[in-house]
Structure 1
């Protein structure tokens, strides 16, 4: 991506995605993926994965006192068989049909968050959310909604910390799979590093708002981001 204008535009997109992820714990991929793909298809998914890992790691460190990696371990362990199930689904079923089903499932999940009924934060539900995250991420590259909706009723710092810890580790798992499959190339690494300034700028901008961005704001924004991700997935499945 040698064009300075396109490079600046891509960094701007990353800044916006990093702000969203720093405020609610996820969302860089949802915000940035379609725009980066339009700028340069080579930026998705591997360079975007590098950026997502970077912002997750930064936010995990920043919210480390609120992160419970031991509890999130149940979700991380379950994400592995989830990824394998997702891979099997891709082999035996039509991807577009699967994407539509996942988009509908995400929208139904968002609908449940509009009620006052809370989803209990326990080992069983963490494992279920991790399993679904693995399936959704493998089939449609949107692994965030199941985990984000489970954590929606926690305190703001815990939401950011736990989501950041989860995505830091789960992204490494995904990267290992891509490396083993020969899909992670040096030029992907160079592209990701080139856009890294957007991650840091977005994070520092978000710090100006984090203290005023409480649990209610996170819940509402999570509902919006999850809905947008599902709608974009539906659009992609129908148009392509």
Structure 2
């Protein structure tokens, strides 16, 4: 079923705002956009939004290329692959209601953990774990940013933007391939992703005008707020 012009325009506005958020703090487009896009048309998630995430990841990685840490990314991507496989399996067996509850609870637990005095340090084990959780959440619901963002919350702003950007490029590509192979990402949905790309460009361009003015602690606070909103929205939507 095709969506109307007004639905596309509404979706572009939402994704544009999400791209502005992600271009500023390093992640958040899917967190902001996914619940609203689903209400516009379920066909806009996860595939088209994952495609948009891959596009803005490319733009962010290009802008902050000198801050990319390939060793850190390697461990995270090792976890992303099996996580993405499980995410595809989840889509085929779990109801939308149960999936929403599960993901919402997971995100809120991650936020609560980040507020504890003990902070998770980036290590091969925690990076693989975050990548694994991101693979499940990103593939099943297009919201794969929170696990990695929470783990990297104490890094510099440019380092967060650069490494999450590359992680989204490769991780999203993995998810899209697996979704396509399993018949869960159609040519029509790819077309929706392409239609949303101009709004991704616009949001990323605007973010470039404000990103350097955002302090590290404000980035961390914004991450926690967005993750909380994501978790609560996912739970409330099925109650």
Q: TM-score, normalising length from structure 1?
A: 0.89
Q: Provide Cα deviations, 1:103-138, integer angstroms capped at 9, x if missing partner.
A: 223212212322443321121110111122223334
Q: How many residues align?
A: 238
- SS across alignment from 1:129: helix
The residue number in structure 2 matching 1:82 is 83
The residue number in structure 2 matching 1:137 is 138
Cα RMSD (Å) = 2.3
Change (3 A) 1:41 1:104: closer
- 1:38 and 1:95 mapped to 2: Cα distance? 13
Change (3 A) 1:49 1:115: same
Q: Is the 1:106–1:227 Cα contact (8 Å) retained in structure 2?
A: yes
The residue number in structure 1 matching 2:118 is 117
1:176-195 aligned at under 5 Å gives the runs: 176-195=177-196
Report how far residue 174 of structure 1 moved: 0.5
The residue number in structure 2 matching 1:11 is 12
- 1:9 and 1:29 mapped to 2: Cα distance? 15
Change (3 A) 1:4 1:79: closer
Q: Is the 1:69–1:166 Cα contact (8 Å) retained in structure 2?
A: no
The residue number in structure 2 matching 1:71 is 72
- SS across alignment from 1:207: helix
- 1:8 and 1:98 mapped to 2: Cα distance? 28
Greater CA drift, 161-170 or 83-92: 83-92
Q: TM-score, normalising length from structure 2?
A: 0.89
Q: Is the 2:18–2:33 Cα contact (8 Å) retained in structure 1?
A: yes
Unaligned runs of 5+ in 2: none
Q: Provide Cα deviations, 1:52-100, integer angstroms capped at 9, x if missing partner.
A: 1111110011111111123211111111222334455667777644543
